[in-house]
Structure 1
Amino acid sequence: MILMQSSQSHLTRYPVPQHFGEYAREALIAEACLTPKPGLVDAENTGSHDDLNLGLMLRSAHCLSPYFTEMAAAGEGQQVSPWLRETIGRIGREAEAGMMIATHGVNTHRGAIWALGLLSTAAAMTVSPFQSATDICQLAGELAQIEDRYAPATFSKGQRASNHYQINGAKQQAQLGFPAITHHALPTLQHSRALGHSETHARLDALLSLTAHLTDTCVLHRAGLAGQTHLQQCSRDILAQGGVSRAQGMARLQQLDRDMIALNASPGGAADLLAATLFVDWVTHSAQSK
């Protein structure tokens, strides 16, 4: 198992579709293994979940890699179009079905399939040493804005929370070009690295930047506005005090994990976007290092 410890690529040439599938898989693995996380599955506990564990998350990540490769292959050299949107939509539904088989019916990565599927496709569309994270996210956003005529009508728990509280969910985040990644998570990740913090601490700070700013429908569904407010305020406080590289910050994060477990709440949307952030970080550095 390769857990990329920095933004430097192990690839020796421009990425091809298979490499994007590998990046997506490794991003999911890195997110799952990152410890401690508030209410999420990690190497210490299963968070607020009684149907998930780390082994299941890793199995899911491995099974999804070929689907991300297929989406990247569909996007290679293409322009934004309804055909491409509907092609990756079909592959995404196949990925979800494969995930459910691999996990015996447990939803491990539905949101990540959406985010990483769009980003894998967008990254493959214009591989260039000048490709930036913003470029990839904006292109993914353009794809997300196109309606998939073949998508089944579903109404997830996250969508219900989004409608009830009148806030943006995963679909809108993508359609806006993933501002949570480009405005918060990626700058925080890079800033923490620049300060000399460990890669683990940099990734945890990036996660906290997401939980501090994102209105997570997963949390709203389980813990309501009170739970969401607590998560955001604690995340902001930890970052304001220097992040998790400080002993006090790490202690507060561990307490936040206990709080979220007690609330039976888990910021799954933030976890998906952290994996997406790592993916974009690795892809752009791979292109720029060539």
Structure 2
Amino acid sequence: MNAMLPQSGLALNDAIVTDCDAGKEGQFCLRVGRAAVSSLYDELVLYPKPGLVSLVDNGSHDDMSADTFFRSLFALRSYFIRITEAGMRGAPFGVLRQLGIEAEGRMLQATGGINTHRGAIFALGLLCASAGACRANHAPMTAENMRSTLMSEWGSGLAMHTQKHTQNAGASHGLQAARQYAATGAREEAALGLPSVFNVALPALKTTLAASGCWERARIDALFALMACMSDTNVYHRGGAEGARLVRECAADFLARGGTAAADWGVHAVECHRRFVADRLSPGGAADLLGAACLVHRLTRDS
């Protein structure tokens, strides 16, 4: 592990520059932005995390490390605050999209062109905007309100955005995989109101937390729940239909054994990790949505 890497998420949230006005609303935007960064940190430091970058190793990746992810997180700090403020102002989808494009540019500049958080920029950015809109509408900060606000405020814009990119000839690797295998990418998830976050990952987080009180185990179970049900374009791009089948079967088997409630859960999680690395599989979409679920949990746990 790089000795220069921070040992907690707190350093990632220091000295954030924001355009938010001072006062209670500005403090709310700052709190949401910090929660978003902390949630992505929670995803990064988790281990065993099959095929994915952690502080332990680089998973199935030769082009990125934990250090790359930390540089990306530092570059994204102000984005989450600004998109929360935009949601609070009732900004249209085009404004949110432009903020995301600018954030992606800062990410790529910080990482030397490596895509560490593109899906997270999209998913967590929308959730931050939804939190801002809930605040402006004086709606209790619950998961149900965050999801319904997301769809009522930007659902039509998200649908048009998804349709436009599906028809776009200049497709990314993820979009190519989505076309070939009918897999689900970040845009498709968002257009449906992030069902994998609200219907899969968040319930898994809450169930394991209630049973064990352990945040680490809750995140592991949520990640495996996502891998077991998602059609992840990242996996299809790297491993095709066979790779996607392997990811879903390994994750489902882990959960069928009891997940982290099993005494030997760590052994089985590491076995999955080694198998994914051997096949160069990386469920990055599931990782992004785990971060999104952690954010919803952080923002709604006191509601």
TM-score by length of 1: 0.88
Partners of 1:67 and 1:44 in 2: CA distance: 28
Match of 2:122 in 1: 114
Q: Aligned to 1:247, what secondary structure does the other structure show?
A: coil
Partners of 1:169 and 1:107 in 2: CA distance: 15
1:76-117 Cα deviation digits (max 9, x unpaired): 142xxxx52011111111100101111111111011101011
Partners of 1:211 and 1:76 in 2: CA distance: 33
Across the aligned residues of Structure 1 and Structure 2, the Cα RMSD in angstroms comes to 2.1
The structure showing larger relative contact order (alpha-carbon pairs under 8 Å, at least 6 residues apart) is 1
Match of 1:134 in 2: 144
Q: Shift in Å at residue 167 of structure 1?
A: 3.0
1:32-74 Cα deviation digits (max 9, x unpaired): 0111101000121101111111111122112101011111111
One-letter amino acid matched to 1:179: P
Match of 2:3 in 1: none
Q: Is the 8 A contact 2:134 2:149 kept in 1?
A: no
Partners of 2:219 and 2:293 in 1: CA distance: 10
One-letter amino acid matched to 2:92: L
Q: How many residues align?
A: 274
Structure 1, unpaired ranges of 5+: 5-12
Question: Is 1:60 equivalent to 2:80 in the alignment?
Answer: no
One-letter amino acid matched to 1:61: L
Match of 2:109 in 1: 101
Q: Return the structure number with greater helix share.
A: 2
Q: Aligned to 2:125, what secondary structure does the other structure show?
A: helix
Question: Is 1:206 equivalent to 2:218 in the alignment?
Answer: no
1:215-264 Cα deviation digits (max 9, x unpaired): 11100110111111111111111112211242332211101101111111
Which has the higher mean CA deviation after the structures are superposed, 94-103 or 124-133?
Answer: 124-133
TM-score by length of 2: 0.85
Q: Is the 8 A contact 2:225 2:252 kept in 1?
A: yes
Partners of 1:134 and 1:233 in 2: CA distance: 30
1:1-290 matches, cutoff 5 A: 2-3=8-9, 16-78=28-90, 84-127=92-135, 128=138, 130-142=140-152, 143-146=154-157, 147=160, 154-286=170-302, 288=303
Q: Shift in Å at residue 283 of structure 1?
A: 0.8
Q: Is the 8 A contact 2:139 2:145 kept in 1?
A: no
Q: Aligned to 2:63, what secondary structure does the other structure show?
A: coil
Partners of 1:137 and 1:51 in 2: CA distance: 34
Q: Percent identity?
A: 35
Partners of 2:36 and 2:143 in 1: CA distance: 15
Structure 2, unpaired ranges of 5+: 1-5, 11-23
1:101-141 Cα deviation digits (max 9, x unpaired): 11111111011101011111011101257332132123334
Partners of 2:282 and 2:156 in 1: CA distance: 27
Q: Aligned to 2:264, what secondary structure does the other structure show?
A: helix
Partners of 2:155 and 2:176 in 1: CA distance: 19
Q: Is the 8 A contact 1:77 1:126 kept in 2?
A: no
Which has the higher mean CA deviation after the structures are superposed, 130-139 or 220-229?
Answer: 130-139
Q: Is the 8 A contact 2:229 2:248 kept in 1?
A: yes
Partners of 1:64 and 1:27 in 2: CA distance: 13
Partners of 2:68 and 2:147 in 1: CA distance: 28
Partners of 1:213 and 1:148 in 2: CA distance: 24
Structure 1: which 4+ aligned runs deviate by more than 3 Å? 1-4, 151-154
